Amino acid sequence: MTYTFLQHYWCFVVSLLGALLVFLLFVQGANSCMRSLGWTEEGKRLVINSTGRKWEFTFTTLVTFGGAFFASFPLFYSTSFGGAYWLWMAILFTFVLQAVSYEFQNKLGNFLGPRTFQFFLVLNGLLGPLLLGGAVATFFEGSNFIVEKGNLVDAGAVTPVISRWANASHGLDALLNPWVLVFGLAVMFLARVLGILYVMNNVADEDIRSRGSVRLIGNAVPFVVLFVAYLVHLLLKDGYAYNDEGLIFLEPYKYLTNFIEMWPLLLIFVIGVALVLFGIGKTVLSRDYVKGIWPAGIGTVLTVLPLLLCSAWNHTAYYPSTADLQSSLTIANSCSSEFTLRTMFYVSFLVPFVLAYIVYCWRKIDAKKLDRQEIQTDHAY
* pLDDT score at 378: 53
What angle (nearest 5°) sits at the alpha carbon of residue 169, between those of residues 168 and 171? 130
Rounded average pLDDT over 319-344: 90
pLDDT at 368 over 90: no
**Cβ(1)–Cβ(345) below 8 Å:** yes
pLDDT at 288 over 70: yes
* pLDDT score at 108: 62
Of residues 205 and 338, the one with the higher pLDDT is 338
* Relative orientation angle of helices 254-261 and 206-236, to the nearest 10 degrees: 100
- Look up residue 4 and give its amino acid: T
**Cβ(27)–Cβ(82) below 8 Å:** no
Lowest mean pLDDT among 248-257, 272-281, 369-378: 369-378
Closest C-alpha among 262, 187, 148, 228 to residue 19: 187
pLDDT at 380 over 80: no
pLDDT at 7 over 60: yes
Residue 24 vs residues 156, 195, 286, 294: alpha-carbon distances, Å: 47, 9, 24, 12
In this structure, are strands 145-147 and 163-165 parallel, antiparallel, or unpaired? antiparallel
Of residues 105 and 331, the one with the higher pLDDT is 331
| β partners of residue 239 | 251
- Exposed e or buried b for every residue in 23-44, given b needs 16+ CB within 10 A? bbbbbbbbbbbbebbbeeeebb
**Cβ(114)–Cβ(48) below 8 Å:** no
- For the ranges 74-78, 207-211, 377-381, the maximum mean pLDDT occurs at 74-78
Which residues contact residue 89 at a Cβ distance below 8 angstroms, ignoring those fewer than 6 apart? none
Phi, psi of 27 (to 5 degrees): -65, -50
In angstroms and rounded to an integer, the radius of gyration of the C-alpha atoms of the chain is 21
Split at pLDDT 50, 70, 90, the class of 111 is low
Number of H helices, E strands in the chain: 16, 4
pLDDT at 155 over 60: no
Q: How far is CA 27 from the centre of its chain?
A: 12
pTM above 0.85, yes or no: yes
Of residues 136 and 102, the one with the higher pLDDT is 136
* pLDDT score at 138: 92
Of residues 276 and 65, the one with the higher pLDDT is 276
**Cβ(30)–Cβ(195) below 8 Å:** yes
Three-class SS state of 291: coil
Rounded average pLDDT over 129-153: 84
pLDDT at 109 over 70: no
pLDDT at 308 over 60: yes
Of residues 361 and 380, the one with the higher pLDDT is 361
* pLDDT score at 14: 92
In this structure, are strands 163-165 and 239-242 parallel, antiparallel, or unpaired? unpaired
How far is it, in rounded angstroms, from Cα 284 to Cα 292? 9
pLDDT at 58 over 90: no
> For the chain, percent helix, then strand, then coil, each to nearest 5?
70, 5, 25
Closest C-alpha among 356, 344, 380, 367 to residue 12: 344
Split at pLDDT 50, 70, 90, the class of 189 is very high
